[in-house]
Amino acid sequence: MDIFGDVSVLRTCEQCGCCSSACPLTGVEGFNVRRILRHVELGLVDEIARSPLPWRCATCGRCETACPNGVAILDVIRPLRALAPAALIPTGPPPCVEACPAEIDVPGYVRLIAQGQPERAHELILERVPFPGVLGRICPHPCEAVCRRGEVNEPVAICALKRYAADRAAEAAPVAPRPAPDTGRRVAVVGAGPAGLAAAFYLRKKGHAVTVLEGRDRPGGMLRHGVPGFRLPDDVIDREIDRILALGIELHTAQQLGRDFDLDRLEKDGFDAILLATGLQAARRIPLEGAELDGVLWGLDFLTAAREGRASRLAGRVVVIGGGDVALDVALTALRLGAAAVTVACLEDRHEMPAHPHELARALEEGIELQPAWGPARVRGDGGRVTGIELVRCTSVFDERRRFRPTFGDERARLEADHVILAVGQAADLAWLEAGQSPAVDAGRIVIDPETAATSRPGVFAAGEGATGPGALIEAIAHAKRAARAIDRHLGGDGVVDPPRGAPVAADGRDGRRERGFADRRRVPAPALDPAERRAGFAEVEQRYTDAQAVEEACRCLDCDLERDPRFLREYRPGEPP
């Protein structure tokens, strides 16, 4: 019992239940704060320690705030974890890190921001990914969905804090990572999109000579040509690509596979491995009556033209077909190009839409109209010009095995429109395929070994959406990392492209849970332009936290990685900060 220190303080517990009433987890798997305190006071700790109960506690401190007698309840609950059998002690990373495809040390960089060290936070992020500023703007942040702070009230704004660290570090001109000594091995990366550049980043850090060949005039792939500037400005893309190239990566633009070179040529030029990261550069076409009419556009083509300044001004009503983030980007871009009104129609019900809820909320704020559970039947026109679109009710998008297999009813609807933009997906441009020696392709994707990213052609690998299909940026980075590991092993390396994970970032002696109201602190909203301002142009919508806002938000973190760390469990003593 000495691990709990002096438990006589528990005699002041009146079993009033205020702690359990305040606990956001009371009732989850039988968790009850008052029961735990009672068992410790009576010396019945084995029953509690050998149950899942100590691990349910989020250590938010709300129970202590609610206690009328000021009992240090967390000093009682925390040591129970040290008594639990090893089988009950969680292993591995905390939930936020486990959910991140790139395995970023989320609690580490959040804690550094809380300590007022955004530059160090940026360096920690760069150990795992080459695009902190880009990810801080367009990542769907799966980490936030599992953040334990969300069990208390709202998850920590992990993505906005990443963007803050990247932007603050840019002002301080951070030093680029350094590569390992040259290995004498050469790798050609075809495609300077996010997957190709990320793979080049990891391979160059291992000491391999990397040459990137890009078909367009500028690197960036869909980051530059498919994401609108109001979400991702050019200067952020340029800054992060320049840092990658500063490692000593050679870049050649306007070099298109199948036109300016082929795989045979790369092999003859002495490259020891080739990575195909050609992405999904084309808008997916669907057979639709009236799609040839003047005024019908295709989503990705429209976004690319707008990003490059080639899109014409729009007038009147615009209908966008599609339910993903690209469709919402198309709709918001149409507003900025002069559309009087924009309606998004999609097969899915609102709760099934693949678009991120945050992006959908932003679109609705700007006045986008939504027509869920409708599919396109035909585009209507007169004299070769669009006049509207006919929709058919979608009764189901997926079959019983959750495969995409939409079914339709008899209900029809008509929408008047001056423009119809079809944003129903992306496709790979495989015109470069050669006869005989090309990698195998199936359903428009390069076939790869899921573990090694190897194609059917020896020495040729593939990464990114051209191999895996559409996905988020963080998934492309994770796949590029997997491919880089396999290529490094192919070249005689150990396949380790990330530095060893060090000890957790130390706490600064501050125990925020002891501060009254810690558990009730709400998420700090990221600054953003007013909806009326957004429609006026392509200025970035979401803004960076101020220093004070970033520290305030980062201090909401529960530091649950420290609560799980075995060293912490062994060394913790009552009254000491975590």
551-563 tens-digit pLDDT: 999 999 988 887 6
From residue 341, alpha-carbon distances to 298, 337, 412 in Å are: 18, 11, 21
206 token code pair: 């291992």
The stretch 103-119 carries a mean pLDDT of 94
Asked if residue 433 and residue 420 are part of one domain, the reply reads no
If one compares 149 and 6, the residue with the highest pLDDT of the two is: 149
**Residues 408 and 446 both lie in one domain:** no
Looking at the fold, whether 302 and 389 belong to one and the same domain comes out as yes
Whether residue 340 lies inside any domain: the answer is: yes
Average pLDDT of the residues in 39-56: 73
Q: Which residue has the tokens 């609560």?
A: 563
Picking from 170, 228, 219, the residue whose alpha carbon sits closest to that of residue 196 is: 219
User: Which residues on adjacent β-strands are paired with residue 370?
Assistant: 344
d(CA 485, CA 461): 11
Going by the DSSP 8-state scheme, the letter that residue 285 receives in this structure is P
- How confident is the model over 55-67, as a mean pLDDT? 81
3-state secondary structure of 482: helix
Q: Do 406 and 298 share a structural domain?
A: yes
Q: In terms of domains, do 81 and 37 share one?
A: yes
CA dihedral angle for residue 560, residue 566, residue 571, residue 572, rounded to 10 degrees: 30
Residue 538 counted as domain residue = yes
- The answer as to whether 487 is a domain residue is no
Nearest Cα neighbor of 95 from 161, 149, 131 is 149
Same domain, 84 and 147: no
Which of 148-152, 297-301, 568-572 comes out lowest in average pLDDT?
568-572
Q: Which two tokens stand for residue 442?
A: 């199936």
Residues 298 and 410 in one domain: yes
Residue 476 included in any domain: no
> Is the model's pLDDT at 565 over the cut of 90?
no
Give the pair of three-digit tokens for residue 518. 């810690």
- DSSP labels for 155-213? ---HHHHHHHHHHHHHHT-PPPP-PPPP-S-EEEEE--SHHHHHHHHHHHHTT-EEEEE
Asked whether residue 153 is domain-assigned, the answer is yes
Please determine, for residue 253, whether its predicted confidence score (pLDDT) is greater than 90: yes
Q: What phi, psi does 264 have (nearest 5°)?
A: -60, -40
Residue 532, classed as helix, strand or coil, is helix
Sign of the Cα pseudo-torsion (327, 330, 336, 338, in order):
negative
The mean pLDDT of the chain is 88
Structural domain of residue 7, as residue ranges?
A: 2-89
When pLDDT is averaged across residues 266-290 and rounded to a whole number, the result is 93
Asked if residue 498 is part of any domain, the answer here is no
- If one counts the domains in the chain, the total is 4
The sign of the CA dihedral 252, 204, 478, 459 is: positive
Q: Are residues 298 and 409 in the same domain?
A: yes
In a domain, residue 148? The reply is yes
Same domain for 422 and 289: yes
Task: Write out the two tokens for 153.
Answer: 């009230």
CA count, 13 A, side-chain hemisphere, 229? 16
Cβ-based neighbour number of residue 555 at 10 Å? 19
**CB 264 within 8 Å of CB 436:** no
CA distance 392 to 237: 40
Query: Any residues with CB less than 8 A from the CB of 526 and at least 6 apart, and which?
Result: 157, 160, 542, 543, 544, 545
Q: What is the rounded distance in angstroms from the CA atom of residue 147 to the CA atom of residue 133?
A: 21
Would you state the structure tokens that stand for residue 237, as one six-digit string?
């893309």
Contacts of 220 (CB under 8 A, 6+ apart): 192, 193, 237, 241
**pLDDT digit string, tens, across residues 414-429:** 999 999 999 998 888 8
- Helices 106-114/547-554 angle, 10° precision: 130
Q: What is the CATH number of the domain that holds 154?
A: 1.10.1060.10
Q: Are residues 399 and 301 in the same domain?
A: yes
308, amino acid identity: E
515 compared with 344, residue with greater pLDDT: 344
Q: What is the mean pLDDT of residues 372-389?
A: 96
Would the pLDDT of 58 be above 70?
Answer: yes
**Partners of 297 in the β-ladder:** 421
Tokens 């005699």 found at: 11
In tens, the pLDDT along 479-496 reads 999 999 999 999 999 999
pLDDT of amino acid 510: 60
The confidence score (pLDDT) of residue 528 equals 95
pLDDT average, residue stretch 386-401: 94
Task: Count Cβ atoms within 10 A of the Cβ of residue 458 and give its class: 0-12 exposed, 13-18 middle, 19 or more buried.
Answer: exposed
Residues of the chain above pLDDT 90, percent? 65
Residue range 322-335: mean pLDDT, rounded: 96
pLDDT in the model for residue 35: 80
Mean pLDDT of the 426-452 span: 83
The answer to whether 165 and 171 have CB atoms below 8 angstroms apart is: no
Q: Which of 11-15, 22-26, 48-52, 341-345 has the lowest mean pLDDT?
A: 48-52
Do residues 200 and 244 lie in contact, with contact meaning Cβ atoms separated by under 8 Å?
A: yes
Highest mean pLDDT among 72-86, 501-515, 545-559: 545-559
Smallest Cα–Cα separation from 517: which of 552, 547, 485? Answer: 552
Gap between the Cα atoms of 578 and 571, Å rounded: 10
pLDDT at 59 over 90: no
**Residue 12: predicted pLDDT:** 79
What is the CATH number for 344? 3.50.50.60
How many Å apart are CA 566 and CA 564, to the nearest integer? 6
330 in the same domain as 433:
no
Q: Comparing 408 with 5, which gets the higher pLDDT?
A: 408
For residue 568, the model assigns a pLDDT of 40
Mean pLDDT calculated for residue range 344-363: 93
- Report which secondary-structure segment, H or E, holds 321: strand 317-321
pLDDT at 89: 66
| 168 and 110 inside one domain | yes
Give the pLDDT confidence of 518-534 residue by residue, as tens digits.
Answer: 888 999 999 999 998 99
- CA dist., res. 469 & res. 318, Å (int): 28
Per-residue pLDDT at 66 exceeds 90? no
